[in-house]
Structure 1
Amino acid sequence: MLDFWNGTESLPVYGYMIRATIVYVYIFLIVKVLGQRTMTSIDPLDFIFGVVIGDILGEPLTDGELPLAGPVGAAAMTATLHLSLSYIALKAPRFRRVIEDEPIILMKHGEILYKELRKSKITLEAFLMDLRLNSASDLSEIDYAILEMNGQISVIKKSSYESVTLKDMQKDVKSKGYPSVLIEDGKIVHANVKKVGTIDWLRGEIQKQGFANPEEIFLMTADESGQTFISPKKD
């Protein structure tokens, strides 16, 4: 009856399916408990956690003889240790330096610090590629280049090469805010429409753009300034 949990040499297909469901839900709950930081900021500690959890819970999905209780318990212990270390790091700045690397300055005042590149084991070619990915191919425009703790390189340009903003031009512009989806795949999202207007207002906006009904629209959004965006549905 509980072969899917205890394991057996001839575990049936439905047993593997039950195990996969249990493991998926279990990992989902672990990620929810740990929070979004685990997924959005992959530092070395998070990477180790992901590899270990995957190895622990992955083996019982392919080996039907292994009982499921042991891996589930080991995964819970690993998640508890990871959560504890993350919590201690938040409360104790000195301990934080043990588990989280400090940012490394690779370029300062337009000068490449080759010793820091060697220390970080980053080749010049890889460094230049990262700069290009940051839209900073012209080295003369760069003030600082920093290797962040998640392994990505951030770039701070010299003030004279920063983009001119409307504030710099002393112009006042209403904030656009967060755009709301009003129509998705031809269907009106009524909850979002109520935030910016009415159904009659929506139909009026659609007609202004040359559409007869919402079914002709794949996506329509509106921001807080009243500006709308429409992408038509095409075959």
Structure 2
Amino acid sequence: MQESLVVIVRAFITFFVILIYARLIGKQQIGNFTMFDYINGITIGSIAAAMATDLTTKAMVHWLALSVFLILTFALQWIGIKSSFWSKVQDSEPVVLMQNGKILEHNLKKVRITKNELMAQLRQKNIFSPLEVGLALLEPDGSVSVLPESPYLPVQKKDLHIPYHIARLTTEVINDGKIIEQNLKQRNKNKEWLLDNIQKAEVDISQIAFAAILPNDTLYIDTFADDVGDENNVSDFQGPY
């Protein structure tokens, strides 16, 4: 019983230590992790797990090791921001894999990528012919960025001289019947404008599950009552979910 209580307390402390340290390190998408970031994250997680469950050693020992790893991680991040050289040492540089439709075999060997793997990466970018590739780069996080040859670039509005508007986000203004006034102000709208549009839609605000101002400044409203049929249900049997 006493061991269980010790584990619970140590796990509780470890959880919040990791939370605080993660906020200090900053935000980075998992998909953007380099191999070093990935291995470093696993090591930090292993130390944290030992800190919570290894009762043969003092928690302070693991906390010290965890702190050292986090301090070094933070220091390397700071050095990488200040020095482009050390940033390249940590994260490496992009490598050109293809240029003008030609595969650069010597670079493939350098980064240990097979031609089949390269073709698979191109297909994921909706490119099924090597001749369409103007430039393909292996990024430090292992992903492949592709610039198609000019004839295969998508047509844009400016190419066709079609009028376009400034891009905006969809802004949520009602959630579960509650108005988010801060978001209204961000889009230069007021409560009267919102209520007027709700009235035009002939719904009560208490019936609205979600409402948002769309990029074109119109109001999207979704009510709790969906009123949709079952014709698009692809399930083959009646299951628990």
Q: TM-score range by the shorter chain?
A: 0.7 to 0.9
Mapping for residues 128-207 of structure 1, pairs under 5 Å: 128-196=119-187, 197-207=189-199
Alignment coverage as a number of residue pairs? 225
- 1:191-218 deviations in Å (ceiling 9; x for gaps): 212333223322332344x451234333
- Which structure 1 residue ranges, 5 or more long, are not aligned? 1-9
User: Which secondary structure does the structure 2 equivalent of 1:76 belong to?
Assistant: helix
Higher relative contact order (CA 8 A, sep 6+): 1
What's the offset of the Cα at 1:223? 4.1
1:34 maps to which residue?
A: 25
Residues 153 and 231 of structure 1, relative CA distance in 2, 3 Å threshold: farther
- Which structure 2 residue ranges, 5 or more long, are not aligned? 228-241
Matched, 1:84 2:75: yes
> Which region of structure 1 is more displaced relative to structure 2, 180-189 or 45-54?
180-189
1:114 maps to which residue?
A: 105
Output the aligned Cα RMSD.
Answer: 2.4
C-alpha contact 2:14 2:51 (8 A) present in aligned 1: no
Mapping for residues 32-111 of structure 1, pairs under 5 Å: 32-37=23-28, 39=30, 41-111=32-102
> Which region of structure 1 is more displaced relative to structure 2, 49-58 or 61-70?
61-70
Matched, 1:19 2:10: yes
What's the offset of the Cα at 1:229? 3.3
Alignment partner for residue 207 of structure 2, among 192, 203, 216?
A: 216
C-alpha contact 1:49 1:79 (8 A) present in aligned 2: no
2:115 maps to which residue?
A: 124
User: Which secondary structure does the structure 1 equivalent of 2:159 belong to?
Assistant: coil
For 1:91 and 1:38, how far apart are their aligned partners in 2? Answer: 21
Letter in 1 for 2:75: S
Identical aligned pairs, as a percentage? 26
C-alpha contact 2:11 2:53 (8 A) present in aligned 1: no
User: Which secondary structure does the structure 1 equivalent of 2:158 belong to?
Assistant: coil
What's the offset of the Cα at 1:105? 1.0
